[in-house]
Structure 1
Amino acid sequence: MSDTINRLTNLFEKNRNEANAGPMRKYMKGHFPFLGIKKPLRSQLEKQFFKETGILKEPFQQDFVWDLWEKEEREYQYTALVYLEKSLKKLQKTDLPFMEKLILTKSWWDSVDAIAPKPVGEIAARYPEVITETIDGWAVSDNMWLRRAAILFQLKYKQQTDEELLYRYIVQNSGSKEFFIQKAIGWALREYSKSNPASVKAFIAGERLAPLSVREGSKYLT
């Protein structure tokens, strides 16, 4: 695995751009250092890397993801997230604790918002028992990012959304003063309103939600 990581590291280091790195770090509120590789170029480099290594043809490798997660610059976590997205069909129920570990490590909206609707959403769709076993606990966790993940994991479910579950998680978090929780509630409602606008409209009217949640959740409602 070290050879694989070294290959990506060498590829990224050759394209380090300090002029880009500063503004990218500033955009992320200074939480992470950056190599300064913007997404279009990073996507090209990732495509080259995946082709040369053939890692996408192998079984899902938690160690590869974690090795990238431990690296300093944020681009490595972005590549880990791309790898996860390209490996969704390989994920098993036993990978959910690892997704929780990723959510809790180097936490920020950019990583959590990729993990929750994609890997977590995929695992929960195929192994729905993890909802009561694990995700219900996330929804009332002391950790804000786990609560955000619980609210957002059904984001791509559309008509398959478990409405009762979504609304329960939202009500459990509706009193939160956290921007990222209020925003997640609005985002989840906005997405679900594309499938069931009447239900979302009635829910918003009947609950005491933060103005931000209402504003975001109502964007597609007439």
Structure 2
Amino acid sequence: MKEKNTLNLTPTPLLLSTGKELGKMLIKDEWGFSRLMDLWKKGGRDEKLIVIFALRELLKKDYESSKSFVINVVDDIPDWEVCDQLAVRVVASLAVKNRDDMFFLMHNWVKSENKWARRLAAATLTAYIRKRKEDSGICLQLLDEMMGEEDKDVKKAIGWALREITKKDPEAVFKITKKDPEAVFKFLQKWAKQDKNARSIIRDGMKKLPKERQDEIKSLW
């Protein structure tokens, strides 16, 4: 997720290239994950992003070690940029490899007192749904646990995830399951009526829907 940053920082594409090459070098190194953890712990913004981009290469060969690495650094995420890059580059790819495993972790993260862990769960959905648009239902079920969120940084990621879901599969907002075609409409109705924080998330998240669908939702407010 792109957010304005006026600081004089190392360009992300340069860090991406560096991390990718590092990851390729470490694939055959039995101490590869330990080396990345040392770099993560000792480094700042640039080093953490390099680690994330390297991990993106390593997870192609070693799912379990990559998952363990993520679990160990979740509580050490310093800001939105590191959080979103970890979500999009690593956690989403892990979820594609093992959906049930990673969604179990994400359901735990949304309950965390750490706002970056909660944002990590929401931001992951934005990249995951691009590869698995048929999983709109399970993604919305996770978001259902987050609609009462009060922190603005987490709310941004939830709205981002909703926009991505409706962009990839607009009708998913009204058809989570074949058994209950009104499931998502009920989901939106519940939160639109109950929670002002949820209304701001829904307003942001429905921007990719056709106007008539947006009007249906607005009529509930």
Identity of aligned residues (%): 24
Cα distance in 1 for residues equivalent to 2:116 and 2:152: 11
Residue from 165, 173, 182 that aligns with 1:200: 173
CA drift of 1:154 comes to 2.9
CA-atom RMSD in angstroms: 3.1
Cα distance in 2 for residues equivalent to 1:137 and 1:194: 27
1:108 and 2:79 equivalent?
Answer: yes
- Higher RCO by CA contacts (8 Å cutoff, separation 6 or greater): 2
CA-to-partner distance for each residue in 1:140-191, whole Å, 9 max, x for gaps? 2222222222223232233445333222222211111101221111110111
Residue from 58, 67, 75 that aligns with 2:28: 58
CA drift of 1:41 comes to 4.9
TM-score by length of 1: 0.69
Structure 2: any 5+ residue segments left out of the alignment? 175-183, 211-221
Cα distance in 1 for residues equivalent to 2:24 and 2:124: 29
CA drift of 1:94 comes to 4.3
Q: Could you say which residue in structure 2 is the equivalent of 1:162? A: 135
Contact 2:27–2:58 (8 Å) recurs in 1: no
Residue from 138, 141, 145 that aligns with 1:172: 145
Contact 1:69–1:80 (8 Å) recurs in 2: yes
Residue from 203, 208, 218 that aligns with 1:215: 203
Distance change in 2, residues 1:27/1:65 (3 Å): farther
Q: What amino acid is aligned across from residue 67 of structure 2 in structure 1?
A: L
TM-score by length of 2: 0.69
Cα distance in 1 for residues equivalent to 2:15 and 2:65: 30
**Secondary structure of the corresponding residue to residue 89 of structure 1:** coil
Q: Could you say which residue in structure 1 is the equivalent of 2:92? A: 121
CA drift of 1:205 comes to 4.5
1:69 and 2:40 equivalent?
Answer: yes
Q: What amino acid is aligned across from residue 152 of structure 1 in structure 2?
A: A
CA-to-partner distance for each residue in 1:88-116, whole Å, 9 max, x for gaps? 31231343232022221143111111122
Q: Could you say which residue in structure 2 is the equivalent of 1:6? A: none
Distance change in 2, residues 1:153/1:176 (3 Å): same
Distance change in 2, residues 1:112/1:161 (3 Å): farther
Cα distance in 2 for residues equivalent to 1:163 and 1:39: 30
Contact 2:126–2:161 (8 Å) recurs in 1: yes
Q: What amino acid is aligned across from residue 41 of structure 2 in structure 1?
A: E
Cα distance in 2 for residues equivalent to 1:112 and 1:55: 24
Q: What amino acid is aligned across from residue 153 of structure 2 in structure 1?
A: F
Residue from 40, 60, 63 that aligns with 1:92: 63
Pairs within 5 Å for 1:4-153 = 27=6, 36-39=9-12, 41-42=14-15, 46=18, 50=21, 55-58=25-28, 61-131=32-102, 133-153=104-124
CA drift of 1:200 comes to 2.7
The alignment of Structure 1 onto Structure 2 pairs a total of residues equal to 188
